[in-house]
C-alpha cells in the first residue's frame, strides 16, 4: 500500500513537472533547495578522459553531470598572417547539433553555439602562446582547429567546453616539423612527437541567476531555461581572475558576484584535481 502510494506520488510529481516546469522549480527554490537535491553552490560531478580519439592530434571527453562534450584538435600547417609572421592559429568552434537537444536545428550554428564559440575563442588566447606554433617565421606555422562537439546538453555547456579545450590542448602532441625553403613543403616526423607549452590553465565556473531569485552554481538544463542572468568566472591556476562574463538582463548584486568569485577559486582546485 505504501509502495503504490509512493509510485502514485512519483507520477503526480512527473506530471506536475511536465505541465508546470517553472512552478515546479519555484517550489524547490522557495525551500532553499534544488530539484536535483544539490546545494546552491554545489557543482555536478566532473569526469575528464584525455586522448581517446586517435584520429585527432589532441582530444578530451568531459562529462559534467549529464552534459557531455568531446573536444578534438586537428593540426594542419599554413602560412602565417603577414601581420604576425611568427604566430600560428588556434580556432575554436562549439558544435551544438540537434543530437544534443531538440532546441537546435541541423545546419548553420545556432545563436547559442556562436556565442559560446566566440567567447571560448577569446579565452583560448590565454591558453597558448601562439608563437610556439611557429615552424618557420613568415613561411609556415601550425594551424590548430579545436572542435568541441556537444553530445548531451544538460546545462552549463560553456564550463564543460572550456575544461575539454584545456584538457585537449594538454593532450595535444605535434610532430616535429621542418620547413624546406627550396620546395616550400613542410615535412613532419610522426615518430618525434612533442607537447605544446600551455601558457595558462583555465578554470571556469558558471553561476546562474534563477528566476531573479537565487544564484546557483552549475545549472542544469531545466534551471537554465528559467535563468535571467548568468555569470562565468574564469581563473588561472594561481587564483587570479582571467575573465568575468555576465550575460542576461537579470541583476546580480555585488555581494553575490564576490561570493561567486570566491566559490570559483575553490572550484579551481576541484577541477585541477580531475585534470591531473
Partner 1 sequence: MSLNITDRRRINGPQRSVEPVYTTTSPVDAFAAGGRMDGRALDQVRPIFIKTGPLDAQSLSAAAPSGSAYYEQGKIRVSCAVYGPRQGRKSSNNARMGTFDCDFKYAPFSCSWKRSHVKTSDEKEIALMLEQAVAPAIRLDAYPKASVDAFVTVIESDGKAATIAAAINCISAALADAGIELYDSVAACSMSLHSEQWVSDCSQIEENASSCSLLVARMPSADEVTYLLQHGKTTPEQTQQAIQTCANDCTRVYAVICRYLQATLE
Binding site for partner 1 (CB under 8 A): 14, 17-18, 35-36, 53-56, 59, 66, 68, 70, 72-74, 76-81, 89, 91-93, 95, 97-103, 106-109, 114, 117-118, 121, 143, 145, 147, 149, 151-154, 175, 177, 185-191, 220-222
CA–CA dist 101, 111 (Å, integer)? 14
Nearer to partner 1, 62 or 77 (CB): 77
CB of 82 to partner 1, least distance (A): 11
CB of 79 to partner 1, least distance (A): 7
Nearer to partner 1, 40 or 89 (CB): 89
Contact between 162 and 99 under an 8 Å Cβ cutoff? The reply is no
CB of 194 to partner 1, least distance (A): 14
Nearer to partner 1, 58 or 204 (CB): 58
CB of 108 to partner 1, least distance (A): 6
Nearer to partner 1, 81 or 129 (CB): 81
CB of 255 to partner 1, least distance (A): 30
Nearer to partner 1, 172 or 217 (CB): 172
Nearer to partner 1, 88 or 252 (CB): 88
For residue 192, the SS3 value is strand
CA–CA dist 173, 92 (Å, integer)? 17
CB of 104 to partner 1, least distance (A): 9
Query: Which residues lie closer than 8 Å to 149 by C-beta, 6 or more apart?
Result: 69, 70, 71, 72, 95, 97
Q: How far from 176 is each of 40, 60, 86, 129, 181, CA to CA, in Å?
A: 48, 22, 17, 17, 16
As beta bridge partners, residue 38 has: none
CB of 2 to partner 1, least distance (A): 24
**Measured in whole angstroms, how far is the alpha carbon of residue 102 from the centre of its chain?**
20
The per-residue b/e assignment along 187-222, b for 16 or more CB within 10 angstroms, e otherwise, is ebeeeeeeebebebbbbbbbbbbbbeeebbbbbbbb
Nearer to partner 1, 5 or 37 (CB): 37
CA–CA dist 75, 84 (Å, integer)? 19
Nearer to partner 1, 97 or 259 (CB): 97
Burial of 80 (0-12, 13-18, 19+ CB in 10 A): buried
CB of 221 to partner 1, least distance (A): 5
Cβ neighbours around 52 below 10 Å, total: 12
CA–CA dist 165, 154 (Å, integer)? 18
Amino acid at each position: 500500500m505504501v509502495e503504490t502510494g509512493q509510485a502514485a506520488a512519483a507520477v503526480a510529481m512527473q506530471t506536475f513537472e511536465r505541465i508546470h516546469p517553472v512552478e515546479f522549480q519555484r517550489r524547490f527554490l522557495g525551500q532553499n533547495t534544488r530539484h536535483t537535491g544539490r546545494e546552491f553552490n554545489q557543482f555536478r560531478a566532473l569526469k575528464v578522459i584525455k586522448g581517446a580519439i586517435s584520429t585527432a592530434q589532441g582530444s578530451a571527453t568531459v562529462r559534467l553531470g549529464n552534459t557531455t562534450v568531446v573536444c578534438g584538435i586537428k593540426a594542419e600547417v599554413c602560412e602565417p598572417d603577414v601581420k604576425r609572421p611568427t604566430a600560428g592559429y588556434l580556432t575554436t568552434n562549439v558544435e551544438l547539433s540537434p543530437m544534443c537537444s531538440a532546441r537546435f536545428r541541423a545546419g548553420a550554428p545556432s545563436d547559442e553555439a556562436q556565442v559560446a564559440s566566440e567567447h571560448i575563442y577569446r579565452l583560448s588566447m590565454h591558453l597558448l602562446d601562439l608563437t610556439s606554433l611557429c615552424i618557420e617565421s613568415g613561411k609556415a606555422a601550425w594551424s590548430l582547429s579545436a572542435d568541441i562537439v556537444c553530445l548531451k546538453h544538460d546545462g552549463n555547456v560553456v564550463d564543460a567546453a572550456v575544461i575539454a579545450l584545456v584538457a585537449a590542448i594538454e593532450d595535444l602532441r605535434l610532430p616535429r616539423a621542418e620547413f624546406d625553403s627550396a620546395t616550400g613543403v613542410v615535412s613532419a616526423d610522426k615518430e618525434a612527437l612533442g607537447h605544446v607549452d600551455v601558457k595558462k590553465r583555465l578554470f571556469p565556473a558558471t553561476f546562474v541567476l534563477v528566476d531573479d531569485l537565487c544564484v546557483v552554481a552549475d545549472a542544469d538544463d531545466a534551471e537554465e531555461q528559467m535563468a535571467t542572468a548568468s555569470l562565468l568566472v574564469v581563473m588561472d591556476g594561481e587564483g587570479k581572475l582571467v575573465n568575468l562574463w555576465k550575460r542576461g538582463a537579470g541583476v546580480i548584486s555585488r555581494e553575490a558576484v564576490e561570493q561567486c568569485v570566491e566559490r570559483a577559486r575553490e572550484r579551481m582546485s576541484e577541477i585541477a584535481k580531475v585534470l591531473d
